[in-house]
Structure 1
Amino acid sequence: MAAELDKMILDHQKVKGTTQFVRATSGNMMLHRNLGNLNSGGGNASSARSSVERGNANNKAATTNGYAYSGMGNIVVNNNKDATRKNGGGELCRALSHRTDPEKLKEMGNEEYRQGHYAEAVALYDQAIIMDARRPAYWSNKAAALAALGRLIEAVDDCKEAVRIDPAYDRAHNRLGGLYLRLGEPDKAIHHFKQSPKESTGADVSRAQSVKTRIAKCNDARKLRNWITVLQESQAAVTDGADCAPQVMALQAEALLRLQRHDEADAVFNGPSAPRFGVDESTKLFGTIGHAYVLVVRAQVDMAAGRFEDAVSTAQTACQLDPSNREVANVHRRANVAAAARLRGNDLFKAAKFAEACAAYGEGLEREPGNAVLLCNRAACHAKLGRYEKAVEDCSAALVVRPTYSKARLRRADCNVKLERWEASLRDYQVLIQELPENEDVKKALSEVEAKLKSQRNGGAADRFQH
C-alpha cells in the first residue's frame, strides 16, 4: 500500500494537469481528477474544521452548505458495489492522510485550483488542514476554492480562521474583504481591505465605499417608494462588486415587482447564476431581520410567479425570524389567501363549475391584484363561459407583468380567433412560434390564422374590384 501511494504521488507530479488515469489498481481505482475521495464515504468531502475539532479524519458526515449550485461535484466515485474495492480505497485514503506531507497536499491542491478543478482542490486542502490545522495558508487557499464553487459563506468562515491563526496574514484579509464585498457587507470589507495593505489597493476600498453608499440610497428610496431609484442603485451596487448580496438582490427584486416587471424579478432570485443561502447560515451572517426581509421579498416573487405553496412556506419562515414585523405578517396573510383562492378555483374548474371558479380566482386577485397566474386562470373560466372579451382582457393584464407568459399569450390568441380578430391572433402566434418552435399545435394554429387572414384580405380585394 505504501509503495502504491508513493507511486501515485510521483505520477501526479509527472502529469500535472492531465485528466487521464494516474494510477489505477484494484485497490484504489482513483482518477487523477477525483482526488476528492480522500475522505472516503459520502458524496461530499467532510468539513476539515469539523474533522479537526473532533480529531477524526475519517468522519463520514458531509457538511451542508445551504447553497444551490454549490455541490462539491462528483468528486467521489461512490457507486462501487464491490466491498473489496471500497475498502481498498479507504485504506489508501488513510495511508495518504498519514504519510503525505501537508505541504505536498497543498501543492497538489494549488495545481488542481490552477486547472479549474476546484472541488478536488477543496478536498486536498481539507486533507492538509486535517494534518496541520495551524497553517493559515491552507485555510485561505481552501477559501479561494470554495469561493470559486460559489460557496461564499463557507469561504468566509475559512478566511476568518486563517486570520485568527495569523492576524497579520495580508492575503487572507484581502480575500475576506473581497468576499464581504460580494456578499454586500461593505463595512466589513473595508475593515479587512485596510488590514491588508500589501494585497489591497485604494480601488478596493473605493468599491466597498461605493457599495455602502448605494445600499444606503436604496434604503432611503425604498422608504419613499421611489422604485426607479431603488432599482438603479441596486443594479449599480451589483456592478460595483456586490454580485452575491442577498439584501441587494432583494432590493432589486422588490423594485422590479413594484414596477410590474415580474419576469425580471423572478430572474433575480431564480436565474442560473443566482446564489442560494440556507436560513441558518444567512441568519448567522446577515442577522434575523436582514434575512427575514430577503425571505419576504422572495415570497412575493414566488406569488407573482404562481408558486403559491412556496410563497406561503417562505413567508412563514420570515414570520418566525421577525414575528413583530407587520409587513412580513401582511405578506404571509396575502400568500395564504392567494394560495387558498387558487386551490379552490382549480378544484371548481375541474368540476366544470366555471362561474364559481371565476369568482374564486377573483377573490385571490382582490388580495393579490395583477397576479398573472390568477388572471390567466380566470381568463380560462371566462373562455369556458363564452366571455371571450373578458378573457382577452385578463390575458392582456397578465402579459403586462409577465411578457413571456406563454400560457396567457396562447389563451389570448385562441380567444381572439373566437372573436375573429385574425390580425391580433396572428401577432400572438408569431411570438409563440418563436418561444415554442417545436410545438405542433402552435404551428397548426398559426397556419390556420394566416389562411383566414389571407382569405379575408383576398375577399376584400374582390369586393373592391366588383364595385
Structure 2
Amino acid sequence: MATTVEVGSEEFPIEMEENEEEPMEDEIIEEDTRTPEEKANDKKTEGNTFYVQKDYKKAIELYTEAINLCPKCASYYGNRAACSIMLDKFKDGLEDARTAVLLDPTFVKGHLREAKCHLALGEIDGAIRSLEEVTKLDPNNKQAKNDLVTARACFKFISEGQKAYDSGDFRKVLFCMERAIALAPACSRFKVQRAESLVLLKRYSEAQTSLNDLLQREGMNADAIYVRGLCFYYEDMIEKAIQHFQQTLRLAPDHTKSRLAFKKCKSLKIKKEEGNTAFKTGKNQLAYDLYTEALQIDPLNVFTNAKLYFNRAIVGTRLGKTDEAIEDCTKAIELDPKYTKAFLKRAKCYMETELYEEAVRDYEKVLDMQPSKEHRHLLQDAKLELKKSKRKDYYKILGLSKNASDDEIKKAYRKHALLHHPDRHASKSPEERKEEEIKFKEVGEAYNILSDPKKKYRYDSGQDLDDMCNGFADFDANNIFQAFFSNGQGFSGGHGFSGGHGFSGGHGGYHSYPGSGYSFQFG
C-alpha cells in the first residue's frame, strides 16, 4: 500500500507495510476506588514485608506513604519507629513513638518503643515513665519489666559515675560510663564523660579516638569539642587547646568548664613564655621564679609541668642550685618517664656532685631509650668515674683539685705529711696515734702516685694501680717522707720540724715513735 505527499508541484510516494495498522485510541485505565484508609493499609502491609526482610529503609518509605494517606493511625508511626530503632536512628524513632502514643494512649508497643529510644539516648527518667505506663496498661508485660531493670541499672551507673567524678576517682567514672554506654549506646553525654575520664587518666590516644568518632556524627557537640581541647591541653599542644576552647565558647557561651580551662591555658602559656624570655636574656633568678609560678597554675597538666620542671632545673644549675636541679629533673621524670632530656640533665648533675652510681643508672636509661654514640660515650665516662670513685681519692686526701700542678702537689704533701706525722701525736692515746699513722701513710701513698707522671696518668685514666706498683705491700711512707725532706723541700721556713711545729727545742737529736717504724734525726 502506498500514499503520496505533495511537495511543491511534485508528489512523492511513502511506502507503508501491508500489515501496518492504524494507531489505536489510548487504553482506558480503571479508576482506583479504594479509600485512603485501604490504600494506607496496603502500604503498611507492603512495608511489613520489607521489615521482615530487614530492608528497613524501604519499609520506612512505605510506612511514610501510609502515614501521608492516613496521618491519624498510631500503628503506622509505631511501625516506622521500629524501623528507625533498627537503624539506630533513635531520635527519629522517639519522635514517631511519641506521636503514636499521643494518638493512642493505650498503644502498648508505642510506649515500649518510646522507652527503648529514651534509654538508648540516655534519657533514663523518660524511659522509666514510659515503662511504668506500660505496666499500668499491661501489668504482666515481661518486656516492660525487663526493660525497667535495665533502665534502673543504667540510672545507678550514672549516679555512681557522678559521685566518682566529684571525688576525682576517674577510673570508677570510666567503669560506670562504659557500662552505661552498653545500655544506652546512642547517648553522647555518656561518651563525652567517658572520653573526659580517659583524658584525666592520661590515656590521651584512646580519648582522641572516641572523640573523633563522636565528632564525625556530631560536629557541633560543644562538650565533645571541649574535651578534645582538654586532651590537647594536657598533651602540651597549647595553641590547639586554645582554639578548641574558643570554639566551645562560641557554641555555648555559658560553658563553665571551657571558660575555666581557657583561662588556665592562657595563663600557663603566658607565664611559660615570660620565663623563657627571662632565661634567654640572662635573667636567671627571674626565670626561676616565673617557672615556679607557672608550676602552680595546674598540677594536673603533666607534660607541660614536666617541661617547666626541666626548664627550672636548667636555670637552677646556672644559679648554683645543683641539688634543687636534681630534684626538679626527678619530678619531670615522674611526670614523663620517657623524658630523655631530664635524664641527661640529672645525670650531668649527678656527675658534678660525684654521685656516679646514680649517673650511670640515668645514662643507661638514656641509652636504652635513645641509642647513640654520644650517649654511649657519656655512659662510659660515668662508669669510669664510678670505678675511680671506688678507689682512694688521692686528690681529696691531699686537699687538691684534679687539675692540680706539680708544685701544688708538693706543697700539699708537705702540709699534710707534717700535719699527720706520728711524732707530732706521740702524746695522744694509742687509738688516736693509730688513726694519725693511717692518715700519714695515705698522704704518702697519694704523693707516691701523683708525683710520678706515669702513675698519675694511669690513676687519672682509671687504670688499675695494683699491677703497676705491685700493690702497696712494700710501701713505706717514712721513706717518701725522708726522701722528700732530705732534698731540702721541707725543713726550712717553718715548714719542717723547726719553726713552730714543736718537734725541736728540747727534744734535739734523734727521735723515734715507738712501734711505728718511723725515726728521724733532727739537727
Question: With structure 1 as the length reference, what TM-score do the two structures score?
Answer: 0.50
For the pair shown, the structure with the greater C-alpha radius of gyration is 2
Question: With structure 2 as the length reference, what TM-score do the two structures score?
Answer: 0.45
